[in-house]
């Protein structure tokens, strides 16, 4: 008989709806029962693409005996961390304080008031490798709660006090300068893996916000080696098994130091952020490899991760048929059966496919040799090799599509959609892809329509139902995407929507006392502590993106209150940015915008005029990280119904001699308007 999770929309929660565990979703019903029966809460947090979450479900939550222990002694609550990042953050902090580490599945024991007193991650069904078996743990916790309440009260009080204190960041008064950027670069260069790219050892995560900062550092001419670090990393990843060589898109992370064996789940946010950094590196270098990765990644999202409503799905699982990676790996015989022996031998050699395999007897496709060098060893031209690889990839993709697919988490999250919206909008403008622009517009219409209620942005959407109050990251990431879409279209509704959301973001999340943003709104339920994460991890934190978008909105609108608020947390985090750049990558990019006066670019002219498009191409086909681009179809006539006339950057701008024209301003000074793309390019390069 299904439990209460059967009424949820999260695919992760629905996976547990038929467990014998009497699961509750997080909510007042569960908390009230815990209080009325004076039972501890067993809180289990995971997500749909989590391999060990599936293992613990099979081993423990589907086990009748273990479920009986849970039902008799606890109120069991299951949470999707992607729907409720606030709960995940609060209780992950507790687990890390209790154990020194964290991860998923996360298992936390709480008092009926929601205060944590014990926790961990995965627990096996019996004692194993130094870990207590889950049944023994459940029995011990239940007994301790019944007989040693005083100790539990002491632990919860101490822990909640520490959690509250750790959320505080002292407001800074330091002057923000480029010296912070120099210190951050020195630290990153010291910790770089000069053989394999990336930072640190296995497991190795992409960390796309760090390469984004390095591209900015290179762009300013501070150190040319910054680009070398980025290119080595991006090339190794693009050639490695972390990249899906046939279907496009990136897996979550590499289990080794050289990007070969991934954890096979695919997350929307990874692919949004990685597509963007590959795009920016392509704009700097013009290297075809990077453009190919951008387009293959975005095409993968369109093919497999896009809802008919315009929203983007969250994730694809690592497992299929209960086996991790089975969907993605190959044998030589499978390749030869599709391509024939001759082409199959070339294809297999190019992608490192052997009879012995490189992953549990099968092969993860990866490129081990420069394509031109490999072609030469086979007596082929580069074009001939390219034809074989392209034909083979298409044929194998068709065969792979007939396999049993990994589960797809088809909920739509506002924040992750904001990330992907920006990537599609930027790629549309930079690569001249009107199809990508159409995708971005449809997504923005979906976010502004289906994911708002009463003006309040919501967190999650599935099967026609949007719910849960949006968090800081939802607001800031969606604003970020809308600003990119405005620049790609000059459609004022997207700028207006971004301003409306920004004003709401400040009202709901800003706190003058802490000099920054909380992650939950003032209208959110009260938790044991109000979460505030100030570090960029797998994705940027809500606060760093909030500062970034407010800095840009200040230029768009002329509202200096935006920039004043954006600067406060930057000052508070100046030491973290210089000493811990690996956890502050997006903060560093926001700081770069703050200390480097942006180029303010206005383009006036009909969008369908080739001369206008030539000016726009000059702007968007180059890497200009600190720019704000605005435009309008015709010269402005101030009027009640012409709100563009009130925008400072557009005020008084018109076409010169009846020709589409561009205006470039920087550091409170404007250059003469130009109509020739070459003249515009010279101004932009200055």
- Strand, coil or helix: what is 568? helix
Taking only the tens place, the pLDDT of each residue in 553-603 is 999 999 999 999 999 999 999 999 999 999 999 999 999 999 998 999 999
Q: Is 1 exposed, middle or buried (0-12, 13-18, 19+ CB in 10 A)?
A: exposed
Just give the CATH number of 599-685.
3.40.30
Taking only the tens place, the pLDDT of each residue in 142-162 is 999 999 999 999 999 999 999
Q: Residue 195 belongs to what H/E stretch?
A: none
- With 90 as the cut, is the pLDDT of residue 164 above it? no
Which residues are registered as beta bridge partners of 134? none
- With 60 as the cut, is the pLDDT of residue 644 above it? no
Positive or negative: CA dihedral 473, 475, 480, 481: positive
> Ramachandran region of residue 232, left (φ > 0), alpha (ψ -120 to 50) or beta?
alpha
Taking only the tens place, the pLDDT of each residue in 471-519 is 999 999 999 999 999 999 999 999 999 999 999 999 999 999 999 999 9
Give the pLDDT confidence score for residue 639 in this predicted structure: 42
121 half-sphere exposure, CB direction, 13 A CA radius = 18
* Start-end of CATH 3.40.30.10 domains in the chain: 4-166
- With 90 as the cut, is the pLDDT of residue 84 above it? yes
Taking only the tens place, the pLDDT of each residue in 330-387 is 999 999 999 999 999 999 999 999 999 999 999 999 999 999 999 999 999 999 999 9
- With 90 as the cut, is the pLDDT of residue 651 above it? no
- pLDDT higher for 547 or 632? 547
Taking only the tens place, the pLDDT of each residue in 191-246 is 999 999 999 999 999 999 999 999 999 999 999 999 999 999 999 999 999 999 99
Structure tokens at 338: 């599709």
Is residue 176 within 8 A of residue 594, CB to CB? The reply is yes
**Please, which pLDDT band fits residue 668 given cuts at 50, 70 and 90?**
confident
**Please, which pLDDT band fits residue 652 given cuts at 50, 70 and 90?**
confident
| CATH of region 179-320+409-595, choose from 3.40.190.80, 1.10.3720.10, 1.50.10.10, 3.20.20.100 | 1.50.10.10
Residue 263, number of CB atoms within 10 A of its CB = 19
Mean predicted confidence (pLDDT) in 391-402 = 97
Give the pLDDT confidence score for residue 104 in this predicted structure: 94
Q: What is the pTM of this model?
A: 0.95
The owner of tokens 């024209």 is 661
* Start-end of CATH 1.50.10.10 domains in the chain: 179-320+409-595
Strand locations in 223-304 (E): 253-254, 262-263, 266-267
148 half-sphere exposure, CB direction, 13 A CA radius = 11
Per-chain mean pLDDT for the chain:
94
Share of the chain above pLDDT 90, in %: 91
Share of the chain above pLDDT 70, in %: 98
Give the pLDDT confidence score for residue 649 in this predicted structure: 82
Just give the CATH number of 4-166.
3.40.30.10
- DSSP assigned state of 368: -
CA nearest to 119, candidates 157, 71, 155: 155
């Amino acid at each position: 008989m299904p439990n209460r999770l059967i009424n949820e929309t999260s695919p992760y929660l629905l996976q547990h709806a038929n467990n014998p565990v009497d699961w509750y979703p997080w909510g007042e019903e569960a908390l009230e029962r815990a209080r009325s029966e004076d039972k501890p809460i067993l809180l289990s947090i995971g997500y749909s693409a989590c391999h060990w979450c599936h293992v613990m479900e099979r081993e423990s939550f589907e086990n009748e005996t273990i479920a009986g222990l849970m039902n008799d002694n606890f109120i069991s609550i299951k949470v999707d961390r992607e729907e409720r990042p606030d709960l995940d953050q609060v209780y992950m902090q507790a687990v890390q304080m209790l154990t020194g580490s964290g991860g998923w599945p996360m298992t936390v024991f709480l008092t009926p008031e929601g205060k944590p007193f014990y926790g961990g991650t995965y627990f096996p069904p019996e004692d194993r490798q130094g870990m207590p078996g889950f049944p023994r743990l459940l029995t011990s916790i239940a007994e301790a709660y019944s007989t040693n309440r005083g100790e539990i009260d002491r632990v919860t009080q101490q822990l909640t006090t520490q959690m509250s204190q750790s959320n505080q960041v002292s407001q800074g008064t330091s002057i923000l300068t480029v010296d912070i950027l120099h210190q951050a670069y020195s630290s990153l260069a010291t910790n770089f893996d000069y053989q394999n790219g990336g930072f640190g050892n296995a497991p190795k995560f992409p960390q796309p916000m760090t390469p984004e900062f390095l591209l900015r550092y290179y762009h300013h001419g501070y150190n040319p080696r910054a680009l070398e670090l980025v290119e080595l990393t991006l090339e190794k990843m693009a050639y490695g098994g972390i990249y899906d060589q046939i279907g496009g898109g990136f897996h979550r992370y590499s289990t080794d130091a050289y990007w070969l064996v991934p954890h096979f789940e695919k997350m929307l946010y990874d692919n949004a952020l990685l597509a963007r950094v590959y795009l920016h590196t392509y704009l700097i270098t013009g290297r075809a490899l990077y453009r190919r990765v951008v387009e293959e990644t975005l095409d993968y999202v369109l093919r497999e991760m896009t809802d008919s409503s315009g929203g983007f799905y969250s994730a694809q699982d690592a497992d299929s048929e209960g086996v991790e990676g089975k969907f993605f790996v190959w044998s030589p015989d499978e390749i030869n059966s599709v391509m024939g022996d001759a082409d199959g031998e070339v294809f297999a050699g190019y992608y490192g496919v052997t009879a012995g395999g490189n992953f549990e007897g099968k092969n993860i496709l990866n490129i081990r040799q420069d394509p031109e060098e490999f072609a030469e060893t086979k007596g082929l031209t580069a074009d001939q090799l390219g034809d074989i690889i392209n034909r083979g990839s298409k044929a194998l993709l068709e065969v792979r599509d007939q396999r049993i697919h990994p589960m797809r988490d088809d909920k739509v999250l506002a924040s992750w959609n904001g990330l992907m919206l920006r990537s599609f909008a930027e790629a549309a403008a930079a690569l001249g892809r009107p199809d990508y622009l159409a995708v971005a517009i449809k997504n923005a219409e979906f976010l502004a329509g289906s994911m708002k209620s009463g003006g309040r942005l919501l967190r999650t959407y599935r099967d026609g139902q949007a719910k849960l109050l949006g968090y800081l990251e939802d607001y800031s990431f969606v604003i970020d995407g809308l600003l990119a879409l405005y620049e790609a279209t000059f459609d004022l509704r997207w700028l207006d929507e971004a301003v409306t959301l920004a004003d709401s973001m400040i009202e709901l999340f800003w706190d003058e006392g802490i000099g920054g943003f909380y992650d939950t709104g003032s209208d959110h339920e009260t938790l044991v502590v109000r979460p505030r994460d100030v570090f960029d991890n797998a994705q940027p934190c809500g606060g760093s993106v909030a500062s970034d978008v407010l800095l840009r909105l200040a230029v768009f609108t002329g509202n200096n209150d935006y920039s004043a608020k954006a600067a406060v947390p930057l000052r508070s985090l100046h030491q973290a940015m210089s000493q811990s750049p690996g956890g502050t990558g997006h903060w560093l990019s926001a700081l770069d915008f703050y200390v480097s006066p942006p180029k303010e670019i206005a383009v006036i002219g009909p969008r369908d005029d080739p001369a206008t498009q030539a000016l726009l191409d000059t702007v968007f086909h180059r890497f200009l990280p600190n720019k704000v681009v605005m435009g309008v179809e015709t010269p402005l006539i101030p009027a009640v119904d012409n709100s563009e006339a009130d925008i400072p950057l557009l005020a008084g701008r018109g076409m010169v001699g009846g020709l589409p024209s561009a205006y470039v301003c920087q550091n409170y000074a404007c250059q003469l308007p130009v109509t020739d793309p070459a003249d515009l390019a010279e101004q932009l390069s200055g």
